[in-house]
């Protein structure tokens, strides 16, 4: 019993200072019912009085006025000694007594809305004023002293606190205080991370000496890439900017594929284009102006791989497209919304996941890859191509249509796992070779896919994500009927490649940038 008493802590005095003033009433009811004295400041003090509860203002409690326009109010020894004193430590007790300080048993604080301020204004001065100092200081003090003090950092924790106080008749258990402390340190760390990242962003420092990655848990996933792996998805925001409107829960692999598909979709012309992805690789892309046709053409690129894949439409899905989409087994359909007729058709499949990505925007933030305690960081490969990025190096010049197809193929190519070869015709991929250690093998796979699934009367062009180290790669493409090739320059054999292109009357374009994706 004695031990039980040690871990229970009676709450006599509460300090409340909240930026988010929602749901205070129920909390104040239970605190005053248990004869807990309330101390507060500023807007929170006014709110508590407005709700008709008794409360002492911080400046009255400390006998020290709020100064510097409210910048200094809770930063006072009486407050912090009350929070930080160890209740069983004789010297601490003596210090409190000598200074006429009292113990504070619970700290209920949430911070100035720094993140919200970033969304609402670009004014650096306003943003700076929303960096909370007193709040995190009290929270850290209370969290450090969780053995004796309870810390509450979010309205989402009020119900749990209320239950705890009811259960233990005005006390809290050590287990609860530990849990709240852990959440409090996550809160202060997250808050400081957002501030740190803001300063790095405005100073354009992508790779600071200390990199802090932060995120909100969106949800724990059933498992990772495989059932024996654990997994969760986080976001810097409180949401992913994509909304699942039907179907089974999304898995780790689904999310991976959805983000791969959206990355490609967002690089295509607005409201145009269909992308089909399997295992994070595109297996068909088309930017045909007619939406229904673009899906059919993307599917025709590799209908076998598309089975069980993900389709991303850069436009709103309608009835006629939904009817086509329903003909094969798909895991996920991502679109810029679905009309009511299409939903009737697609929702007949209970497990088919439908995702509305209207709000999804590709940001140019840094991309991470981690192993053990190491993190690789790089900027995203999102630059929009323009004619200036390319140079025609062959005697034979491309037609307008060839040039469009070459740039389209090269754009898709950068989202295909390396080594990557993309064959295209009529603004649609007709063969994709991905993820091979040998570029020659990727050429062969792309050609085989084209010969297997296509019956082409149109001109076919090829894109490579990096230079051909030898003539054999481009030779294989030309022998299979390719009329034009786009590739990054930079090989010591570039001259041999140009010579071969000229001998075979092939159009050859060099890109100034390389586009590996591993």
Active site residues: 144, 279
In terms of Cβ atoms closer than 10 Å to its own Cβ (0-12, 13-18, 19+), residue 501 is buried
Both structure tokens of 167: 């259960």
Both structure tokens of 364: 């140019």
DSSP assignment of 301-346 equals H-HHHHTTEEEEESS-B-HHHHHHHTTS-EEEEEES-B-HHHHHHH
Helix axes 174-202, 134-144, angle to 10 degrees: 140
CB 110 within 8 A of CB 157: no
Q: What is the 3-state secondary structure of 472-498?
A: HHHHHHHHCCCCEEEEECCCCCHHHHH
CB 370 within 8 A of CB 351: no
Paired residues of 377 in beta bridges: 368
The count of other CB atoms within 10 Å of the CB of residue 300 is 17
Distances from the Cα of 398 to the Cαs of 207, 408, 456, 510, in angstroms? 41, 14, 19, 12
Cβ-proximal residues to 124 (8 Å cutoff; 6+ apart), any chain = 202
Q: What is the 3-state secondary structure of 174-214?
A: HHHHHHHHHHHHHHHHHHHHHHHHHHHHHCCCCCCCCCCCC
Paired residues of 197 in beta bridges: none
Both structure tokens of 284: 């068909």
CB 11 within 8 A of CB 36: yes
CB 27 within 8 A of CB 162: yes
CB 213 within 8 A of CB 200: no
Query: Rounded to the nearest 5°, which phi and psi values hold at 245?
Result: -110, -5
Kindly report the CA angle at 172 between 170 and 176, in degrees rounded to 5? Answer: 150
Both structure tokens of 33: 């019912």
Q: Which residues of 387-445 form beta strands (DSSP E)?
A: 390-392, 421-425, 428-433
How many residues does this entry show for the chain? 518
Cβ-proximal residues to 36 (8 Å cutoff; 6+ apart), any chain = 11, 12, 13, 14, 105, 106, 170
């Amino acid at each position: 019993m004695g031990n039980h008493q040690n871990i229970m802590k009676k709450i006599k005095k509460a300090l409340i200072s909240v930026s988010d003033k929602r749901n205070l009433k129920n909390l104040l009811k239970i605190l005053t019912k248990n004869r807990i004295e309330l101390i507060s400041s500023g807007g929170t003090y006014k709110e508590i009085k407005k709700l008709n509860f008794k409360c002492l203002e911080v400046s009255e409690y400390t006998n020290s006025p709020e100064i510097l326009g409210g910048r200094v109010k809770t930063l006072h020894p009486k407050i912090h000694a009350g929070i930080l004193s160890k209740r069983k430590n004789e010297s601490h007790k003596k210090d409190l007594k000598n200074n006429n300080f009292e113990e504070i048993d619970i700290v209920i604080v949430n911070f100035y809305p720094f993140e919200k301020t970033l969304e609402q204004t670009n004014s650096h001065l306003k943003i700076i004023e929303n960096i909370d100092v007193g709040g995190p200081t009290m929270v850290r003090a209370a969290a450090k002293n969780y053995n004796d003090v309870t810390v509450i950092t979010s309205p989402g924790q009020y119900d749990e606190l209320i239950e705890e106080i009811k259960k233990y008749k005005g006390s809290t258990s050590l287990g609860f205080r530990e849990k709240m402390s852990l959440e409090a340190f996550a809160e202060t760390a997250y808050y400081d991370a957002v501030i740190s990242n803001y300063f790095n962003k405005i100073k354009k420092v992508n790779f600071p000496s200390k990199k802090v990655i932060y995120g909100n848990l969106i949800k724990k996933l059933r498992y990772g890439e495989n059932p024996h792996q654990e997994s969760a998805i986080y976001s810097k925001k409180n949401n992913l900017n994509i909304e699942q409107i039907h179907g089974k829960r999304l898995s780790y692999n689904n999310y991976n594929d959805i983000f791969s598909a959206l990355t490609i979709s967002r690089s295509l012309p607005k409201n145009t284009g269909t992308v089909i992805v399997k295992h994070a690789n595109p297996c068909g892309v088309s930017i045909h102006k007619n939406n229904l046709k673009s899906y059919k053409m993307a599917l025709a690129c590799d209908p076998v791989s598309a089975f069980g894949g993900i389709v991303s439409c850069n436009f709103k899905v309608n009835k006629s497209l939904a009817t086509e989409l329903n003909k094969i087994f798909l895991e996920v359909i991502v679109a810029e919304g679905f009309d009511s007729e299409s939903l009737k058709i697609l929702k007949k499949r209970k497990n088919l996941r439908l995702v509305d990505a209207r709000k999804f925007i590709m940001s140019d933030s840094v991309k991470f890859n981690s192993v053990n305690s190491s993190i690789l960081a790089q900027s995203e490969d999102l630059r929009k191509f323009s004619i200036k990025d390319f140079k025609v190096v062959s005697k034979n010049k491309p037609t307008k249509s060839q040039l469009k197809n070459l740039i389209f193929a090269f754009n898709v190519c950068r989202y295909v796992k390396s080594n990557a070869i993309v064959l295209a015709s009529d603004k649609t991929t007709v063969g994709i070779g991905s993820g091979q250690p040998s570029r020659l093998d990727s050429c062969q796979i792309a050609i085989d896919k084209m010969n297997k699934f296509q019956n082409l009367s149109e001109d076919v062009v090829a894109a490579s994500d990096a230079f051909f180290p030898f003539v054999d790669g481009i030779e294989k493409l030309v022998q299979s009927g390719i009329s034009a090739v786009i590739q990054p320059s930079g090989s010591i054999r570039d001259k041999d490649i140009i010579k071969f292109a000229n001998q075979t009357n092939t159009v050859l374009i060099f890109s100034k940038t390389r586009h590996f994706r591993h």
